[in-house]
């Protein structure tokens, strides 16, 4: 029988009832001190019919924050808040992994402890503005991380992974995409280092590989995925040879036997025009399960799965507006329209109040 979006599949040790993944979606609705609120348990629980939910990107430390009202995954109170979320999803038979995030230079001193400068591979100020509690303000020039500080970054990912497992998640996804810290190390537009973490593909990928090995050692490779975005220009990102770089990254990640590789296949968030890139070629380099993400609908998702290009498809905005997206796709039912005004911050409006199909 031909495979489609509604066929079951395993990603590592995580068994999915279908191949529709809810993509990580920043919603800025956490409480004080980065604690997830009960409303977030409702939100994720409503969407538990997805084969897998990837949570909103979640800072791994107080220095990893870059936006207001983000949930964290490094304190006991945050773990307790996330336990409500995983319980709500599991009660409905769903699976959920937490996305581990360090924003690097895409932050602002007003969001960081004691007004600290954001950190990055190199002291290069990004074009654009930071979202802060005071509104939009220009980015600042970040501080370049010392080589001696990088084991501490790895340790933060390890601690956050332990917290995620304690909160009941089925696994974790390492965020190495969209212009945040690990992506900043990968791409030569942001990485001008002259130590063992700059220059060659191997050096620029070194921190990602160290983080991956450390997270795998804690969680098991069968519970770990990684997200990359080879040509997304969002957050003022570019690379001189993205195809060769990310083909190398895909090859290097094969050593870990990960649960999946999650690939943003182009540019998102209005960052400008993405460079040309052969995602079919990239997919051939990675030996494990492949999660495709960007502008897929039902027909394109089914085609990507039937052709073998992807094992699962991640959907973003459609899951915001349609908690029962799986049922709607199955029935070829019309979709709710998403309200972009309520994507970031606010209350239940545009978060937990989208209607389900009338049965």
Looking at the annotation, which residues are catalytic?
180
Structure tokens at 325: 């997206």
Q: What Å distances lie between residue 156 and 72, 120, 323, CA to CA?
A: 12, 15, 32
């Amino acid at each position: 029988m031909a495979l489609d979006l509604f066929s079951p599949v395993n990603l590592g040790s995580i068994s999915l009832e279908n191949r529709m993944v809810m993509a990580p979606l920043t919603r800025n609705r956490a409480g004080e001190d980065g604690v997830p609120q009960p409303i977030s348990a409702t939100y994720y629980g409503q969407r538990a019919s997805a084969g897998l939910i990837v949570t909103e990107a979640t800072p791994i430390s107080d220095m990893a924050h870059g936006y207001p009202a983000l949930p964290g995954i490094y304190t006991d109170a945050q773990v307790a808040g996330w336990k409500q979320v995983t319980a709500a999803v599991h009660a409905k038979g769903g699976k959920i992994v937490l996305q581990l995030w360090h924003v690097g230079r895409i932050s602002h001193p007003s969001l960081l402890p004691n007004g600290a400068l954001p950190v990055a591979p190199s002291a290069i100020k990004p074009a654009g503005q930071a979202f802060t509690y005071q509104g939009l303000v220009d980015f600042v020039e970040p501080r370049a991380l010392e080589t001696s500080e990088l084991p501490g970054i790895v340790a933060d990912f390890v601690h956050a992974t332990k917290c995620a497992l304690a909160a009941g998640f089925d696994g974790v996804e390492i965020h190495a995409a969209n212009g945040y810290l690990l992506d900043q190390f990968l791409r030569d537009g942001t990485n001008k280092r002259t130590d063992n973490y700059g220059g060659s593909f191997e050096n620029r990928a070194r921190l990602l590989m160290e983080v991956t090995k450390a997270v795998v050692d804690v969680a098991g490779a069968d519970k770990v995925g990684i997200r990359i975005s080879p040509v997304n220009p969002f957050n003022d990102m570019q690379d001189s040879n993205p195809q060769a770089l990310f083909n190398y990254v895909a090859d290097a990640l094969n050593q870990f036997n990960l649960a999946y590789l999650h690939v943003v296949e182009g540019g998102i968030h209005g960052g400008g025009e993405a460079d040309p890139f052969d995602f079919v070629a990239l997919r051939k380099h990675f030996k494990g399960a492949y999660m495709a993400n960007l502008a897929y609908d039902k027909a394109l998702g089914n085609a990507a799965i039937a052709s073998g290009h992807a094992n699962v498809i991640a959907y973003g905005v459609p899951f915001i507006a349609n908690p029962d997206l799986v049922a709607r796709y199955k029935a070829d039912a019309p979709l709710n329209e998403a309200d972009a005004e309520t994507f970031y911050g606010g209350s239940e409006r545009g978060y937990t109040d989208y209607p389900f199909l009338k049965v």
